[in-house]
Chain A
């Protein structure tokens, strides 16, 4: 199949308005939200914008027949290069599949197409008393499909869990073009948990065309506490004390001085500019509990050295306190032309030591690093500030991030808590997983996508999936024994 007939056939499926193929039209599909320098851009051969599951399936079948790579794309806010078509091929952009198909209050579920924007789902259901709990900071832009693919988290995941805890079932177009459902309204379905396999699979196992997600009842009462501390140590210490007291807040976020300085002038959220660190703690539940726990937490924070503790219950005040936090990442553009961040997770008890190490790395490489992160679950976001036009800056950033990753893994942490591996961190995967561990992952990949056409060059280290298709050594053994039986 040559390019012309590929385009013709795609247009046959989607109509001319649903396919882009001129080189200049493809330019804007060469990036996602990830940082320049950390992820290479790449041009697809064609971009498709389907509106139905059947169209997605037809595109995938065509790609399957032609042996072309397929990369799904949501809003393109991903931070690990997931939606970049590293080997070209066809991009399936799901932005036109953005209908909320059904909201079922009795079941507390919503059936949505993948292009529905995270926040807009919650905005639609909140008047009825429900919300979609995963709340990545990018929630005003990112799609449910992207959330499912990255198993996204957010501040409120401390109490409510990440995306996988809220997905009941998925309609999926498999790499061979079949349309199937995994999971569903009733649980206890037979066989392996393929929904679990799909969530967090970074578009490598199939394209999600519908998601059945859980809706969470809005809590009766919500309280946000802002506690200011002299330094980051004191704030992390307070975090451990709160958790140690047997309290699970809805969210527990930490911002350091540099972050406060970026955010406060931009959003006037009311963070004290002279604080070394602030904690943002949200509690929710029944009115009686919230009030009492709020007092308890405030007392703990004061004991732990908080210089100021304020609380907000009114929606507008809470929103303002949160706005600063949610916008923090992107507001870094105000401190430096470029930023790069990591997304490592360390055991909560290792937070103070990790932050010290990050500080050392910052000084060693002469790179300002701001910290704003999900302290409650140890999910760090060290943000390195730089100017890519300054010679050597990019290299220093990449060196520094390598050191940070190494340290976090050393203390028992993970490479990524929410942003995924993608192409960005794939060469670091061997820090945490052995060849055998990866072989097990390859087993999953092979059983869904034996041809390896779905979102190639992601997750597995460079060169890993090419050539002979790897799997557990068992496969080699099976061949030795000549057994293929079921």
Chain B
């Protein structure tokens, strides 16, 4: 079934949230919000036939992510695909439309004492489809993994006009290639995820967060290492610098009776003043801490994610501190997931010609780590390089993958790694 012609022409009623006026400075001529998976496919087929470029959009919380698009004609919102398609609490599985917001999904799950154990920055507002496309994750990935680990099935609309499914509604499935995980993190360049199935988990019965100030980054990293090698098995463990001060946060989950004791043990492993937050306060603390990691460009903010092997995080933080002085960047925020090996910086570039200074900073960072992604920056500054970092040696396989799924480059042309 085709969507009404005038649906394509502009804003459609019933969609909450802001519609993006532009993506990296390019303004779409058309905006559509299909109501069904089939409609999405038809829009794509139509675009393919007419040679239009389509940018799928969820809640628009990570539109800054990616290279500036080569072309942009049509923005396709998934906002109307937001129903809970199937939820079997006893089976611990959920099927939900791509336009559903994570926060709403978590509310539905919480009624049955369950959750998706993920905490992407500003994730509550983000849509499921957007989270799959960007693959962005938060500190809880240390113990619980990412959405990739929970994804068990998808339905995807393709520029060929078809809707395909892969995986299913069972938690274990090796029927064919693992397409759901291939779509994860593909920035919508292979197809538009219209719905997704997840394995969900029981909510932890209790949680606590212990935080402590640290005199230096060395002290913070050392404390984190102690916690990581203890028996505590933290749900998240981050070292951070905010407003110039180093601190450490550890999140513990378990039974009511246990968590308090674990928190005490954590405090014993930390030095100096500690604070403990429990329950909703604990979760809120992490939401607050990660908000600055979101791929949202505020003013002239630049957000960069640097990933190294976990053992190298301490060294990386040290190098970043030195680099900060050398390159005269003002890092307002640094958040490091220690056991994961990922560091996110939110920074400002002082002086003139910020675009070339950003390019220089990025080059400098690439000497420190293999993976450097500029998550957000003013559009104009992003044109000189690939925000995803160096293209991998498998880029030709990736190109042919793209060619198999989207031969005329309808979907987000140019925005993904290697300007795919």
- Indicate the member of A188, A378, A420 with the most B CB atoms within 10 Å: A188
Q: Which of B51, B172, B373, B397 contacts A162 (CB 8 A)?
A: B172
Q: Out of B113, B171, B231, name the residue touching A286 (CB < 8 Å).
A: B231
Determine if A165 and B149 form an interchain contact, defined as CB atoms under 8 angstroms apart: yes
A65-73, A331-339, A476-484: which lies at the interface: A476-484
Q: Please, how many angstroms separate the alpha-carbon atoms of A349 and B92 in the complex?
A: 10
- Decide if A27 is an interface residue (CB 8 Å cutoff): no
Report the nearest A residue to B258, measured CB to CB: A288
Q: Which of B155-181 contact A (CB under 8 A)?
A: 156, 158-166, 168-179, 181
Give the size of the chain A interface in residues (CB under 8 angstroms).
Answer: 97
Given contacts A197-B177, A293-B255, contact A377 B165 (CB under 8 A): no
Decide: A193 near B371, CB < 8 A? Known: A107-B310, A188-B305, A293-B255: no
- Choose among B49, B176, B309, B407 the residue that contacts A186 (Cβ–Cβ < 8 A): B309
Q: How large is the interface on B (under 10, 10 to 19, 20 to 34, 35 or more residues)?
A: 35 or more
B407 and A478 contacting across the interface, CB-CB below 8 Å? yes
Instruction: List CB contacts (< 8 Å) of A175-226 with chain B.
Output: 180-182, 184-194, 196-197, 199-201, 205, 217, 220
**Contact yes or no, B400 A151, CB < 8 A:** no
Question: Contact mask B382-420 → A, CB, 8 Å, 1/0?
Answer: 000010111111110111111111111100000011101
Which one of B114, B168, B392 lies within 8 Å of A191 (CB-CB)? B392
Instruction: Establish whether residues B404 and A413, one from each chain, have CB atoms under 8 Å apart when the complex forms.
Output: no
Which residues on A sit within 8 Å (CB–CB) of B178? Answer: 151, 164, 196-197, 199-201
Q: Which of B200-208, B294-302, B327-335 contacts A (4 or more CB under 8 A)?
A: B200-208
Q: Which of A460-486 contact B (CB under 8 A)?
A: 471-475, 477-478, 481, 483-486
Question: Which residues of the partner chain B approach A325 to less than 8 Å between Cβ atoms?
Answer: none
Please state if A106 and B311 are interface contacts (CB–CB under 8 Å): yes
Of A164, A180, A196, chain B has the most CB atoms within 10 Å of the CB of: A196
B310 touches A440 (CB 8 A): no
Cα A285 to Cα B204 in complex, Å, equals 14
Distance, CA A400 to CA B413, complexed state (A): 50
- Chain A residues near B400: list those with CB within 8 A: 446-447, 450
In the complex the two chains form, what is the Cα distance from A182 to B394 in whole Å?
A: 7
Given known contacts A193-B185, A286-B233, A436-B164, A165 and B202 CB-to-CB distance under 8 angstroms: no
A395-439 near B? 1/0 per residue, CB < 8 Å = 000000000000000001111111111000000010011101111
Q: Of the candidates B88, B158, B186, B409, which one forms a contact with A192 in the assembled complex, judged by CB atoms under 8 Å apart? A: B186
Query: Do residues B182 and A197 form an inter-chain contact, with CB atoms below 8 A?
Result: yes
Q: Is B262 an interface residue (CB 8 A)?
A: yes
**Which residues of chain B are within 8 angstroms of A418 by Cβ–Cβ distance?**
172, 174
With a cutoff of 8 Å between Cβ atoms, the chain A residues found around residue B309 in the complex are: 104, 107, 109, 185-186
The contact string, 1 if C-beta is below 8 Å from chain A, for chain B 248-283, is 000000110110011000000000000000000000
A184 CB → nearest B CB, Å: 7
A residues with CB within 8 A of B: 104, 106-109, 150-151, 153, 157, 161-162, 164-165, 174, 180-182, 184-194, 196-197, 199-201, 205, 217, 220, 240, 243-244, 246-248, 285-286, 288-289, 292-293, 345-349, 374, 377-379, 412-421, 429, 432-434, 436-441, 443-448, 450, 459, 471-475, 477-478, 481, 483-486
Known contacts A194-B394, A243-B92, A347-B91; 6 additional CB pairs below 8 A are A186-B309, A374-B172, A377-B171, A429-B176, A474-B48, A478-B408
Closest 6 interchain pairs by CB?
A196-B181, A478-B407, A246-B202, A185-B309, A443-B404, A190-B417
Chain B interface (Cβ < 8 Å from any Cβ of A): 48-49, 51, 88-93, 113-114, 145, 148-149, 156, 158-166, 168-179, 181-182, 184-186, 190-191, 201-203, 205, 231-233, 254-255, 257-258, 261-262, 305, 307-311, 340-342, 369-371, 373, 386, 388-395, 397-409, 416-418, 420
- Of the A-B pairs whose beta carbons lie under 8 Å apart in the complex, a sample of 19, sorted by A's number, is A190-B391, A190-B392, A192-B190, A192-B417, A196-B182, A196-B184, A201-B178, A246-B202, A248-B202, A414-B170, A414-B172, A416-B174, A417-B170, A433-B175, A443-B404, A444-B401, A447-B401, A459-B177, A481-B408
